[in-house]
A and B are shown apart, each in its own frame.
Chain A
Amino acid sequence: MRDQFDIVIIGSGAGGAPVAYVHARRKDRSVLVLEKGPLLRTQDEQDGGNLSDFKRDEMFNAGAERIINVPGMTNSGHPFFASHIEPDLNDEPHIFSDLAGNGPRVTIEGYTAQVVGGGTQLYGGVSLRFAETDFSLATFNATRTVPLKGDPTRDALRHVIDWPIAYKNFIPYYEKAERLVGINGTSSGQAKSQNFPFTTPDQYQVPRAPNPISLYAEAGMKACGFDTYRTPLAVITDHHAPSGRKAGDPLVGYVNRYGDPLGYKSSTWVSLLRPTIRKGHDLEVRPNCTVTHLVSNGRKVTEVHYRDESGRERIVRGTYVVVACSAIESVRLMMLSAEHDRTGFGKAIRFEESGSHLGRYFLTHAFGGAEVAIKRHRFDKSISLDSDFATDACAQPAFLDEHGLWAGGAIYNNTSDQCLPITLARTDGSTDLDTFWAGFSGDMAKRGDGIIDWLNKDFGTRLSVSFMANQVPRYDNRIELHPTLDKWGRKSAHIIKDWHPHDGAVMSTLAAVCEDILLAGVPGATRDDISEGSVYGNAVRVANHILGGMRFGETEAESVLDTDCRVWGFENLYVTDGAFMPTSGGGNPTLTIQANAFRVADLIP
Chain B
Amino acid sequence: MVARRIDKEDQYVLNLCTKYLARINTDERHSAYGVDAATPRARISESWRFPVVDSHDGNEPDAYEWNDVTFVWHIADLSAPPQSVLLLSTCHRLHEPLPLVRIGDTAYFALTVKLPKATRYRYLFIVDGKLTADPINPQTQTFANGETWSSFFTSAYNQPISFERWEFAILDRLTRHILPFNSTEAQNYLGREGGGGNVGHLYRLDISVGVANFIDKVVAREERHRLYAYKTCLEMLDTILRRRETRAPPEAMEESLFVELYDDMASGASALFEHGWDRSRYSDPADFLKLLRRHAMTGAFAHPKYGGNPGGMAWAYLSEHFTGDNGKTAFDWQRAQEKPLGTSVEYRG
A447 to B75, CA, bound (A): 49
A449 x B59 contact (CB < 8 A):
no
Say whether B121 faces chain A, with CB atoms less than 8 Å apart: no
A319 to B305, CA, bound (A): 49
CB-defined contacts of A114 to chain B, threshold 8 Å: 19
Chain B residues 1 to 56 lying within 8 A of chain A, measured CB to CB, are 9, 11-12, 14-20, 22-25, 27, 29-33, 45-46, 55
B262 nearest in chain A by CB position: A447
CB-defined contacts of B242 to chain A, threshold 8 Å: none
The digit string for A34-52, where 1 denotes a CB below 8 A from any CB of B, is 0001111001001101111
A378 x B78 contact (CB < 8 A):
no
A460 x B331 contact (CB < 8 A):
yes
A66 to B30, CA, bound (A): 9
Are A485 and B14 also in contact (CB < 8 A) when A50-B57, A63-B222, A459-B318 are?
no
A37 x B336 contact (CB < 8 A):
no
A114 to B45, CA, bound (A): 15
Q: Which residue in A47, A59, A69, A212 is a CB contact (below 8 Å) of B29?
A: A69
CB-defined contacts of A248 to chain B, threshold 8 Å: 346
Chain A residues 5 to 29 lying within 8 A of chain B, measured CB to CB, are none
Are A307 and B330 also in contact (CB < 8 A) when A39-B15, A67-B225 are?
no
Q: Which residue in A91, A420, A452, A460 is a CB contact (below 8 Å) of B330?
A: A460
A39 x B11 contact (CB < 8 A):
yes
Say whether B274 faces chain A, with CB atoms less than 8 Å apart: no
Say whether B275 faces chain A, with CB atoms less than 8 Å apart: no
The digit string for A63-77, where 1 denotes a CB below 8 A from any CB of B, is 111110110000000
Are A310 and B333 also in contact (CB < 8 A) when A50-B59, A59-B306, A455-B180 are?
no
Say whether B177 faces chain A, with CB atoms less than 8 Å apart: yes
Among A150-158, A178-186, A249-257, A499-507, the stretch in contact with B = A249-257
Majority SS at the chain A contact face: loop
CB-defined contacts of A57 to chain B, threshold 8 Å: 302-303
CB-defined contacts of B298 to chain A, threshold 8 Å: 59, 422, 425
B293 x A37 contact (CB < 8 A):
no
Among A128-136, A337-345, A486-494, A510-518, the stretch in contact with B = A486-494
The digit string for B170-194, where 1 denotes a CB below 8 A from any CB of A, is 0000000111101111100000000
Say whether A379 faces chain B, with CB atoms less than 8 Å apart: yes
B17 x A51 contact (CB < 8 A):
no
A460 to B329, CA, bound (A): 10
A383 to B324, CA, bound (A): 12
Q: Which residue in B225, B286, B324 is a CB contact (below 8 Å) of A378?
A: B324
Say whether B62 faces chain A, with CB atoms less than 8 Å apart: no
Chain B residues 229 to 281 lying within 8 A of chain A, measured CB to CB, are 262, 266
Say whether B294 faces chain A, with CB atoms less than 8 Å apart: yes
A452 x B57 contact (CB < 8 A):
no
Q: Which residue in B9, B46, B108, B180 is a CB contact (below 8 Å) of A47?
A: B9
Q: How many residues of A are counted as interface, with CB atoms below 8 angstroms from the partner's CB atoms?
A: 76
CB-defined contacts of A40 to chain B, threshold 8 Å: 15
B15 x A288 contact (CB < 8 A):
yes
Say whether B93 faces chain A, with CB atoms less than 8 Å apart: no
A38 x B15 contact (CB < 8 A):
yes
Say whether A287 faces chain B, with CB atoms less than 8 Å apart: yes
A379 x B325 contact (CB < 8 A):
yes
CB-defined contacts of B347 to chain A, threshold 8 Å: 43, 56, 252, 261-262
CB-defined contacts of A377 to chain B, threshold 8 Å: 325
A37 to B236, CA, bound (A): 44
Say whether B131 faces chain A, with CB atoms less than 8 Å apart: no
Are A311 and B297 also in contact (CB < 8 A) when A64-B218, A452-B186, A487-B23 are?
no
B226 x A70 contact (CB < 8 A):
no
A49 to B58, CA, bound (A): 6
Chain B residues 84 to 106 lying within 8 A of chain A, measured CB to CB, are 106
CB-defined contacts of B329 to chain A, threshold 8 Å: 380
Chain B residues 296 to 332 lying within 8 A of chain A, measured CB to CB, are 297-298, 300-303, 306, 314-315, 318, 321-326, 328-332
B6 nearest in chain A by CB position: A49
A380 to B306, CA, bound (A): 25
CB-defined contacts of A444 to chain B, threshold 8 Å: 262, 266, 286, 289, 293
A262 to B31, CA, bound (A): 36
The digit string for A430-463, where 1 denotes a CB below 8 A from any CB of B, is 0000000100111010111101100100011000
Say whether B291 faces chain A, with CB atoms less than 8 Å apart: yes
B322 x A459 contact (CB < 8 A):
yes
CB-defined contacts of B179 to chain A, threshold 8 Å: 447-448, 451
Chain A residues 59 to 107 lying within 8 A of chain B, measured CB to CB, are 59, 63-67, 69-70, 87-88, 90-91
A440 x B57 contact (CB < 8 A):
no
B346 x A51 contact (CB < 8 A):
no
Q: List 7 A-B contacts (CB under 8 A).
A: A37-B19, A50-B58, A69-B30, A422-B301, A425-B298, A451-B178, A459-B331
Q: 3 tightest A-B contacts by CB?
A: A38-B15, A64-B222, A310-B107
